[in-house]
Each structure stands twice: as C-alpha cells, then as structure tokens.
Amino acid sequence: DTAVSQTPKYLVTQMGNDKSIKCEQNLGHDTMYWYKQDSKKFLKIMFSYNNKELIINETVPNRFSPKSPDKAHLNLHINSLELGDSAVYFCASSRRGGDQPQHFGDGTRLSIL
C-alpha cells in the first residue's frame, strides 16, 4: 500500500564506502526526485527524472549518481562517502506539469562514521 517506499530506512557506514538507496513508487507517476534534508531540516532538491530521463541536476558532487531503470524506480548511488553526506535523503514522485503535488517517501537516514 505504501505509495513511495525507500530502502533502507537507516544506513550507517564508514567514510570512504560506497552505498546505494533504492526508491519505488506505485502511484503511476512519471517524475521522481531525490532531496537531501540536512541536520537543520533544510530540504534541497538533488535530482529529478521524468520517464527515466534526467531533467533536474542541481549542484551535487559527482560522487552522487542517480539511476532510473524504469519510471517507477529511482535509485541513488553514492561513492566515497564523506562525513558531510550524513543527512536524511528523501525520494518523491509526482505527475509532470502544472500543480501536481509531490509525494514523499519516509526517508533514508544516512550516518557516516
């Protein structure tokens, strides 16, 4: 029943490791997003895909690489993790255009030791 689901919910890892976060939506939306929420709760978009095509790519280190195998999935792979990557990462989805609301997952809390 979960509309936008992310796995894992928690991720604790060492600096320098590579990790992935997965996202799936069952809402039939064609646009998906990754957001980063820092320790001060500031939410900032990282990437957006529409029908597997990258449409938004904010100023994000190229250690972060999104991949969309199909329009229901958007994964985020992070190489060489740094302390500053510690945050909550949210996946969201929406229909494209107009005033379409974005539906968020419950987030993945990434902690770098």
Binding site for another protein (CB under 8 A): 4, 31, 33, 40-45, 48, 50, 55-56, 90, 92, 94, 96-107
Residue 33: Cβ-neighbour burial (10 angstroms; 0-12, 13-18, 19+): buried
- Smallest distance, another protein to C-beta of residue 80, A: 27
Residue closer to another protein (CB basis): 64 or 90: 90
Residue closer to another protein (CB basis): 73 or 107: 107
The span from the CA of 98 to the CA of 69, in Å, is 25
Residue closer to another protein (CB basis): 10 or 18: 10
Residue closer to another protein (CB basis): 56 or 113: 56
The span from the CA of 46 to the CA of 60, in Å, is 6
In sequence order, what DSSP letters do the residues of 23-75 get, joined into one string?
Answer: EEE-S--SEEEEEEE-TT--EEEEEEEETTEEEEE-S--TTEEEEEEETTEEE
- Smallest distance, another protein to C-beta of residue 53, A: 10
